[in-house]
Every structure is written in structure tokens, then in C-alpha cells.
Amino acid sequence: MRNISLIFKQFSKSLLLVAGLAICSLSANAQADAAKGEAIFKSKCTACHKIETRMTGPALGPQVTQETDDKYLTKWIQNNQALIAAKNPKALKIYNEYNQANMTVFAELSDADVANVLTYVRGEWKKMQDKPAAGQAGSTGAAAESGPSSLLIWGLIGVIVIAFIVILVLNKVIATLERLLLKRGGLALEDEEVTEVEAVKADRLADVKRALKNKKLVFFIVLCGVIGLGSWSWVTMWNTNVHQGYQPVQPIKYSHKLHAGIMKIECQYCHTGAFKSKNAAIPSLNVCMNCHKVVKTESPEIHKIYDALGYNPETQKYDSTKARPIQWVRIHNLPDLAYFNHSQHVKVGAIKCQTCHGQVQNMQEVYQYSPLTMKWCIQCHKRTEINSKGSAYYDKILAAHDKIKKGEKVTPAMLGGLECAKCHY
Ligand code: HEC
Ligand code: HEC
Ligand code: HEC
Ligand code: HEC
Ligand code: HEC
Ligand code: HEC
């Protein structure tokens, strides 16, 4: 009995110590890391990289968040040329993607330096995504989705603390019982003479065996295991099929930053559907031809448009037999079981594209800004106030309500039941 309570004491002490140390070192480290990383990033990387947008090199935020293999990233940053020479498939892929532009070799950076840079970039990127777009009151964007992790961690800490208290209480009970037992058995004297230290040394093995037989201890260990495994699979399941940050390479280097940002072409010039129907839709290449019949006709990227349409810039004629449509890679993709309608949000709800898609006009290449999870939809629906003034949609509904109150005839048609998107996907 005595030994079990000793084991408990030692066990709880060392656990407390480890936990304390871990918390201290974690918080201290994270701060030092990011600050050092920032200095390196600003002095060595900003010439070619930004965190959020593509420049000469890729947007580092999404890039190093998607690529989680830190060993590979470290090798790449320290000496990308070596990786390319060794024909590393990942390195070759990105090298070709960026038209074999060369990144500087940073042999002088230690592994720790690189780790600091990665910590900084990932941290900044996370902050940017957590922040809602400026100037949009009530917008949730990615901010709504802080994910289950923080809640989970606090939950876990709570469970561990409770388990500790239980251990301590049990410990006290055991000690009291022990004293009682010893008094009754009259063994008190005999036992007291052996010093505690010797007792521990003598039967360590027996202790372990006894500890294993102790149902409470075994139960506690199993409980920890179950909680650990459970939370791991919980987090994994939460993140399955969430493609936030997804940024595929498109067949034509079309830039929203140039067209929608610098040239200020309105979103609806190309994505007319967003105001009228369920789908925003990707514009047909004929829309591009409004300008590119004459603009940048020598560019190989623009020639991809010509090829896709079977257009011959010399004769200015289309040959539909030679046309082979561009395969834009779809970025946003809700599963079929969810119905989302753009016009309902953009036209009736007057929600800006940027609330859901981020600052597209600053993106060289579009990426998925919002998580597109059910939680994301629901949170916005709970927080956003609708504006019914001057909206034909609500005027219709209010008129119908009046009629219902007066007992007049109301048909589905009066409630928008003739709109194509109500019945068609
Ligand atoms: C001279 C321009 C230049 C500088 C400076 C530069 N990079 Fe790059 N980086 C590139 C280019 C270009 C690519 C795309 C691949 C290629 O063409 O080599 C790239 C790619 C990357 C990648 C993607 C690798 C992958 O496979 O996912 C990472 C990560 C990266 N750079 C990190 C850094 C860091 C960190 C620094 C600063 C220490 C830095 N870069 C400085 C030009 C640069
Ligand atoms: C000149 C035409 C044009 C204009 C203007 C334009 N876009 Fe696009 N947009 C495209 C094309 C082409 C694609 C498909 C290629 C791509 O993803 O970059 C696209 C793709 C997108 C996508 C990703 C679609 C997917 O695959 O899920 C979003 C979101 C988007 N645009 C939003 C906007 C917003 C918001 C604006 C206004 C700030 C805007 N666009 C202005 C042509 C345009
Ligand atoms: C309102 C006119 C307009 C429309 C519509 C338009 N563009 Fe452009 N685009 C331009 C202009 C102007 C430039 C050149 C800017 C410059 O001088 O670098 C350009 C540049 C480009 C470039 C870069 C070419 C290069 O080599 O630098 C690509 C690629 C491109 N556009 C693709 C598209 C695609 C794809 C569409 C259709 C979805 C489209 N553009 C629609 C005006 C337009
Ligand atoms: C309330 C959030 C929200 C707003 C506001 C919004 N979108 Fe979307 N957008 C989405 C969702 C969700 C999808 C994915 C739809 C799907 O997969 O069926 C999407 C998909 C797209 C696509 C991919 C093609 C398609 O039609 O599915 C384009 C392009 C697009 N949006 C452009 C725009 C433009 C331009 C605006 C502003 C006029 C806008 N969006 C406003 C949430 C929004
Ligand atoms: C940025 C906030 C926002 C987000 C994100 C958002 N919605 Fe909405 N949604 C609204 C608002 C506001 C309305 C009400 C528009 C109106 O009728 O005035 C609405 C209305 C709707 C309606 C019509 C409800 C009705 O009774 O008529 C549906 C369906 C809907 N949203 C689906 C979705 C889905 C699915 C998603 C996620 C993929 C989503 N929404 C994401 C703001 C949002
Ligand atoms: C009240 C629901 C409803 C509304 C509103 C509605 N439709 Fe339909 N539509 C249907 C149904 C159901 C079918 C399938 C009929 C069948 O298969 O015989 C259909 C079939 C179609 C078809 C034929 C598809 C095919 O494969 O043969 C087209 C085209 C069509 N609708 C277009 C529209 C347009 C455009 C609007 C808006 C002006 C609209 N619909 C509004 C219910 C509706």
C-alpha cells in the first residue's frame, strides 16, 4: 500500500514538472522563433516572395502551409540547386512551374534559422487568414473558422487537471487506509524501522507489478490513451475535405491582380452569373477576346487563348475544328448535397465577393480563401443581419404576407417559385 502511494506521488510530481516545463519552453520558443524568422525573411526573401501573393516565387504563406515536409523545405531553402540537380520530383515540379527561374542558394542558413523562418511565415499566414477583410462589418470570412483545436486543447487540459485532482484525492484516501490497516495489524513498528528509501529500492519490480494490478492507475492510463486517440481522429475528421488555401496552377497565367486589381475590370464583367443565378461561372474565352484580339497578341500565354478557340491571329478567322477548350482547374467546390446560390447572396444579401473569396483583386492566382464548411455557412447566417429595404425579393414576400393575413389567394409564383434557380441546379 505504502509503495503504491509513493508511486503515485512520484508519478504526479514528475508529470507536473514535465507539463510545467513544456508550457514554459513552448511559449518562450514560439516568440523567439517568429522574431528571428521575421528578420531573416525580411532581409533575404522579400525580394522574390511575399507571404500572401505570388511574386517571382510562390506566395510563401500557402506554399509552406500546404507543404508540411519540413525536411524537404529546409533542404530546398538551404540549397535548391542541389535538389534540382538530384532530380528531386517536388523540386523539379516547382522549378518547372516557375519557368525554371532560379532561387538564390542560402547555404549560410542553419536548420534552426530555416525553422524560424517557416514558423514566422506560417504564423503570419494564419493571422492573415483569421483576420476578416477590412471594412466589412459583420463579415466572417475565414475568421469564423478558428477550428476545433483551441477548444479541444482546453478541453484536454481540463480533463488532465481533473484526473490529477482525482489522483491526489485517491492518494490521500490510500494513505489514510494504509495507516488504519497498519494500526490494526500491529505491524506498525516493524514496518517503520525500514527506511523509506530502502523499501523503494528493494521491490521496485514488485511495485511495477502491483501498479499494473492497480485498476485505477491502469484505468487512468487507458483513459489518457483513449482521449489522445479520440482527439487525434476528431481533428483529422474535421479537416477532411476542407481545402482552404487550395491554389491549383491554371492552364493560362491569367492574373486577377492585373485584370481586376490594376485594370479595375469589375467582377461582373466576367462573372455575370454571380448576380443572376446560382453559379458565378467562369467566363468563356470570347470575353477575353474582347480585348486580346488586339492586346498582347504576341504573348505565348495569349496564344493559348487563340489555340483554344481555333483562332488564327494572321487571318483573324476562327476554325472550330481546331478548337480545344481550356481546362480551368476548379478551385471552389461544394459537395452536391449542399445548395449554394450566388444571386441570393450577392444580389439579395448584397454581400461583397471579397467577404467569401478574399481580396481576389490582389491575387495573382486565385486560391480558396474560406473553408466552405457547413460551420462557415451557419456562423455567417447567425451573425449577418438581412437588409429588406428596397429589395424586390422582400417586397414580394411582404406583399404575400399581407395577402395571407387578409385571407387572399397566394400562389408559389408570388414567392419566387418561377425563378429557374429555385428548381434547377
Ligand atoms: C532570387 C529570388 C528568390 C529569393 C531571394 C528567394 N526565393 Fe524562394 N523561390 C524563388 C523561385 C523563383 C521559386 C520557385 C521555384 C523555382 O523556380 O526555383 C521559389 C520557391 C520557394 C519555395 C517553394 C519550394 C517548394 O517546393 O515548395 C520556398 C519554400 C521558398 N522559395 C522559400 C524561400 C525563402 C525562405 C527565402 C529566403 C530565405 C527565399 N525563398 C528567397 C525565388 C526566390
Ligand atoms: C477578365 C475576366 C475576369 C474578371 C474581371 C474577374 N475574374 Fe474571376 N476568374 C476569371 C477566370 C478566367 C477564372 C478562372 C481561372 C482562375 O481561377 O484564375 C476566374 C476565377 C475566379 C475564382 C475561382 C473560381 C473557382 O475555380 O472556384 C473566383 C473566386 C473569382 N474568379 C472571383 C473573382 C472576383 C471576386 C472578381 C472581382 C474582384 C473577379 N473574379 C474578376 C476571370 C475574371
Ligand atoms: C478589358 C480588356 C481585357 C480583358 C477582357 C482581358 N484582358 Fe487579359 N490583359 C489585358 C491587358 C491590357 C493586358 C496587358 C497588360 C500589360 O500590358 O502587361 C492583359 C494581359 C493578360 C495576360 C498576360 C500576358 C503576358 O504575357 O503578359 C494574360 C495571360 C491575360 N491577359 C489573360 C486573359 C484572359 C484569360 C482573359 C479572359 C478571362 C483576359 N485576359 C481578359 C486586357 C484584358
Ligand atoms: C456568401 C459567400 C459568397 C459570396 C458573397 C460570393 N461567393 Fe463565389 N462562391 C461561394 C461558394 C460557396 C462557391 C462554391 C460553389 C459550389 O461549389 O457550388 C463559390 C464559387 C465561385 C466561383 C466558381 C464557379 C461557380 O460558379 O461555382 C466563382 C467564379 C465565384 N464564386 C465568383 C464570385 C464572385 C465574382 C462573387 C461576387 C460577385 C462571389 N463569388 C461572391 C461563395 C460566395
Ligand atoms: C458572408 C455571409 C454568408 C455566408 C458565408 C453564407 N451565407 Fe447564405 N445567406 C447569407 C445572407 C445574408 C442571406 C440572406 C439573403 C437575403 O435573402 O437577404 C443568406 C441566404 C441563404 C439561403 C437562403 C435562405 C432562405 O431562406 O431564403 C441559402 C439557401 C443559403 N444562404 C445558403 C448558404 C450556404 C450553403 C452557404 C455556405 C456554402 C452560405 N449560405 C454561406 C449570408 C451568408
Ligand atoms: C417549379 C420548378 C421549375 C422552375 C421554376 C423552372 N423549371 Fe425548368 N424544369 C423543371 C422540371 C421538373 C424539369 C424536368 C421536366 C422533365 O424532365 O420532363 C425542367 C426541365 C427544364 C429544361 C429541359 C431540360 C432537359 O434536359 O430536357 C430546361 C431547358 C429548363 N427546365 C429551363 C428552365 C428555365 C430557363 C427556367 C427559368 C425561366 C426554369 N426551367 C424554371 C422545373 C422547373
Quickly list DSSP for 26-59.
Answer: HHHHHHHHHHHHHHHIIIIITTT--SSS-SSS--
Q: pLDDT per residue over 181-232, tens digit each?
A: 888 766 544 555 556 666 666 677 888 888 788 888 899 999 999 999 999 9
Q: Measured from the CB, is residue 355 less than 6 Å from ligand 4?
A: yes
Top-level class of domain 18-130: mainly alpha
What atom in ligand 4 is closest to the CA of residue 352?
5
What atom in ligand 5 is closest to the CA of residue 370?
5
| Alpha carbon of 106 to ligand 1 centroid (Å) | 10
Confidence at 367, pLDDT banded by 50, 70, 90: very high
H or E stretch including 287? Answer: helix 285-292
Opening angle at CA 23, ends 20 and 25, nearest 5: 105
| Alpha carbon of 57 to ligand 1 centroid (Å) | 5
Which ligand has the shortest distance to the CA of 133? 5
pLDDT reported for residue 252: 93
Asked if residue 305 lies in contact with residue 288, where contact means CB atoms within 8 angstroms, the answer is yes
Domain ranges within the chain, ordered by starting residue: 18-130, 148-239, 256-368, 392-423
What secondary structure letter does DSSP report for 251? Answer: S
Query: Is the entire prediction scored with pTM above 0.85?
Result: no
pLDDT reported for residue 263: 92
pLDDT at 368 over 80: yes
Mean pLDDT on 265-273: 93
pLDDT reported for residue 404: 93
Q: Measured from the CB, is residue 348 less than 6 Å from ligand 5?
A: yes
pLDDT at 6 over 70: no
Q: Regarding predicted confidence, which is higher, 184 or 176? A: 176
Q: pLDDT per residue over 46-63, tens digit each?
A: 777 888 887 778 888 888
Asked if residue 28 lies in contact with residue 235, where contact means CB atoms within 8 angstroms, the answer is no
pLDDT reported for residue 82: 84
pLDDT reported for residue 134: 41
Percent of the chain at pLDDT > 90 equals 31
- The Cα-based distances of 161 to 59, 156, 172, 215 in angstroms read 42, 9, 17, 20
pLDDT reported for residue 138: 37
Contacts 24+ apart (CB under 8 A), 107-112: 107/78, 107/79, 109/40, 109/44, 109/77, 109/78, 111/74
| Alpha carbon of 345 to ligand 5 centroid (Å) | 6
H or E stretch including 233? Answer: helix 215-239
pLDDT reported for residue 227: 95
Residue 64's closest CA among 29, 142, 131, 116? 116
Contacts 24+ apart (CB under 8 A), 7-14: 7/207, 7/211, 8/167, 8/170, 8/171, 8/174, 8/217, 9/171, 11/167, 12/164, 12/167, 12/168, 12/171
**Residues 348, 386: Cα–Cα separation, whole Å:** 9
Q: pLDDT per residue over 384-395, tens digit each?
A: 988 888 788 888
pLDDT reported for residue 54: 79
- CB-based contacts of 250, cutoff 8 Å, min separation 6: 328, 329, 365
By most ligand atoms within 8 Å of CB, the mutation choice from 357, 361, 367, 368 for ligand 4 is: 357
What atom in ligand 4 is closest to the CA of residue 380?
1
What atom in ligand 2 is closest to the CA of residue 357?
29
Q: Regarding predicted confidence, which is higher, 23 or 179? A: 179
* Buried-state track 368-396, b at ≥16 Cβ within 10 A, e below 16: bbbbbbeebbeebeeebeeeeeebebeee
Confidence at 324, pLDDT banded by 50, 70, 90: confident
Q: Which residues line ligand 1 (CB under 6 A)?
A: 44-45, 47-49, 56-58, 60, 63-64, 67, 73, 76-77, 80, 90-91, 94-95, 98, 101-104, 106, 117
What is the signed CA dihedral for 280, 133, 246, 121, rounded to 10 degrees? 160
Q: What is the mean pLDDT of the chain?
A: 82
What atom in ligand 6 is closest to the CA of residue 419?
5
What atom in ligand 4 is closest to the CA of residue 372?
12
Least confident of 39-43, 292-296, 404-408: 39-43
State the DSSP string of 360-384: GGG-SS----S---HHHHHHHHHHP
Mean pLDDT on 32-36: 81
Cell numbers at residue 364, please?
Answer: 495573382
Residue 291's closest CA among 312, 320, 269, 267? 269
By most ligand atoms within 8 Å of CB, the mutation choice from 71, 102, 103 for ligand 1 is: 103
Q: Measured from the CB, is residue 340 less than 6 Å from ligand 4?
A: yes
Residue nearest to atom 34 of ligand 2 (CA): 267
Q: Which residue has the cell 514560439?
A: 30
Q: Measured from the CB, is residue 253 less than 6 Å from ligand 3?
A: yes
What atom in ligand 4 is closest to the CA of residue 351?
5
Q: Measured from the CB, is residue 345 less than 6 Å from ligand 4?
A: yes
Strand partners, 318: 311
- CB-based contacts of 128, cutoff 8 Å, min separation 6: 51, 52, 61
Length of the chain, please? 425
